A and B are shown apart, each in its own frame.
Chain A
């Protein structure tokens, strides 16, 4: 029991350390490893997604290791932003509106849909809703 607890604490500490350190990845925003969960309460499930980008298509794996599943599809719907003239010298001008990145990840019958927060920052995350058959609930993943 104690051994299991120690292992769990070590794993949690490792994940926490990983999450706390922003990883430099300035290319295609979906590339890399994402970690988070979907669902609520006892139904909450951890999820790890590893993705690559070949220039026209993102692909990857959910929960690498035993029981891993290939990612069926990844789509990123970008709503362009708007330039603004606001600056220190012109504080009353219209503020710029940043583009919005809406993401949809499908893995078998699981669909994760959400908005990417801080999409070009090291601490980017995706927050939204998951659906799996009749199930529906919140999901969130962070870029490691």
Chain B
């Protein structure tokens, strides 16, 4: 009997100690747990906001999150364009400050000028069909280069690496991939194997970064609405950070395979997503139109907006 009481007491004390230790342990882990919890929380927030943005940014042409997109309320004047010690504008995050991203801002390249775009007949017909019953490769998680990067639902991040004389543009959503822009004065290789992001070389024209991309394949659309291109495309982009909050974007499309002459888009604006860290995004996992991955495209309901 005495032995049984001792055993019960031992078990009770052991259990109490275990609970107490576990409590201490949990308490000790709390900051870490919170820290870890921020990622999924931010991710969830990103997805929720992103869907709204995608629907607006992709089809309607605006950023509806009150971040200064078209129609946003006027706030105090934006801070001036941040600059590197050598005076060049900083296009990405400011060193020592929180990481910034850029929201989606380029909707459809022919916006407001469709009738002036010098389409070849097949290219115009392809564009027209895509308005009726086609979904872009991006909805099947395919990496989509140049201007299409700036319609990616969760925006992009510009990572400048002055020591390497290059810049990376990261897609936060969609294929979650990246493009390299070489800024070291190199020339284009004689032969470039066509890829989704192509081969990009940039140079500064005053405060504007001018980027030319060649070697693009034909596996993606230039924008959400289906602006076509061929492998002959030379795509020139002009990035001008107007102030802390706004990046101006303009593109020139030189593609004798799809257009009768080069043409230049209107100016688009990307808005800063202040302090938004990029998050892990698995397109195949989060794709809200998984049937699109099959690529049969036999039955399309274009009234829905799919977030890849």
List residues of A whose CB falls within 8 A of some B CB: 22, 24-29, 31, 53-56, 76, 78, 80-81, 83-84, 87-88, 96, 98-99, 101, 118-123
- Pairwise interchain contact B297-A118, C-beta atoms closer than 8 A: yes
- Pairwise interchain contact B219-A25, C-beta atoms closer than 8 A: yes
- Pairwise interchain contact B230-A99, C-beta atoms closer than 8 A: no
Q: In chain B, residues 114-160, which have Cβ atoms closer than 8 Å to a Cβ of chain A?
A: 120-122, 124-126, 128-134, 137, 142
- Pairwise interchain contact A26-B129, C-beta atoms closer than 8 A: no
- Pairwise interchain contact B297-A26, C-beta atoms closer than 8 A: no
- Identify the 8 closest CB pairs spanning chains A and B, nearest first: A27-B218, A99-B125, A88-B303, A55-B256, A27-B230, A24-B219, A55-B257, A22-B295
Which secondary structure characterizes the binding site on chain B?
loop
**Interface residues of B, count at CB 8 A:** 33
Which secondary structure characterizes the binding site on chain A?
loop
Whether a CB of chain A sits under 8 angstroms from the CB of B103 is no
- Pairwise interchain contact B218-A123, C-beta atoms closer than 8 A: no
Give, as a whole number of angstroms, the nearest-CB distance from A127 to chain B: 16
The proximity string for B residues 162-189 relative to A, scoring 1 for CB distances below 8 Å and 0 otherwise, is 0000000000000000000000000000
How many A-B pairs have beta carbons closer than 8 Å: the answer is 87
Q: In chain B, residues 52-111, which have Cβ atoms closer than 8 Å to a Cβ of chain A?
A: none
User: CA of A131 to CA of B121 in the docked complex: distance in angstroms?
Assistant: 27
Give, as a whole number of angstroms, the nearest-CB distance from A136 to chain B: 28
User: CA of A123 to CA of B124 in the docked complex: distance in angstroms?
Assistant: 20
A residues in contact with B256, CB < 8 Å: 55-56
B residues in contact with A99, CB < 8 Å: 125, 128-129
- Nearest neighbor of B126 in chain A, beta-carbon distance: A120
User: CA of A88 to CA of B298 in the docked complex: distance in angstroms?
Assistant: 19
User: CA of A96 to CA of B129 in the docked complex: distance in angstroms?
Assistant: 9
A residues in contact with B128, CB < 8 Å: 80-81, 83, 98-99
Give, as a whole number of angstroms, the nearest-CB distance from B210 to chain A: 24
User: CA of A120 to CA of B218 in the docked complex: distance in angstroms?
Assistant: 12
